[in-house]
Structure 1
Amino acid sequence: MITGRTADRYTMQTLFLGLLLLGTSLLLFAFFADNSIMTVIVVILIGLTGVPMNPAMVTRVIRIGNAGTLVNSIHGSIISLGVAVGSSIGGMTIDAGLGLRSTIWVGFILAILGLITLLPFMIRSKNMSHHDKEITFI
């Protein structure tokens, strides 16, 4: 509910903060997976940041694609493709003998790659006037 409201008004900032928190949680998980208390904390953080970012992703796609039904269908397919690719890469790291913790590193790297894709927008919006920023969110 909170993410949906912030995604409507601050789409890119919600995505950026969500990916930053998700990446940080995954990094902490990778380093402290042997600590049961820390594991519980970071798994909760991952759940609170990863899944709720969906409204922000959908909002971004709908605004960019002018709410076309084909764009929305493709967006759902891309999410499924991302789950399949991420899971496959994680499985390959396990098959390569890197252990279960390697899947956490895969998630961390994917979160960082997601952040990198947002940087051009964040830099561009920082250089825009307030009026121009409002236009980009309409």
Structure 2
Amino acid sequence: MSSYVFSAQSPKGFEATVQAVTEALKQEGFGVLTTIDVQATLKAKLGVEQRPYVILGACNPHFAHQALQADPDIGALLPCNVVVREDADGAVHVVLMDPQAVLGMVARPEIEPLGGEVRSRLQRVAESLGRGWSA
């Protein structure tokens, strides 16, 4: 796995995983601001068949507010993206942006603790899915 994401494999089907991830995000103080159905978009715009693939734009208002107070331009790095995708073999994966790595690009000391706390919360989301996750 790359240095800017971590992931988990879900034991559930695609739709059930999207619901489980949304609920786990809620338990950690995040809301889902956007849902991008990549499968439907590629079908509509390009006529391309794609396995189920959704990008959830997750935001924790408390931490987002703190980050915006420290650097108003940091909104370009928000929200935290969470991908739920299905492989050709039917395995469902959840891939989460690593906010510590992404916010580390800002190189501001007041942002660093936020990235670590948000990362911890998103790791708990991954762990809640029941199968092993990888950083």
TM-score w.r.t. the length of structure 2 is 0.30
Of the two structures, which has the highest relative contact order with CA contacts closer than 8 Å and spacing of 6 or more?
2
Higher helix share: 1
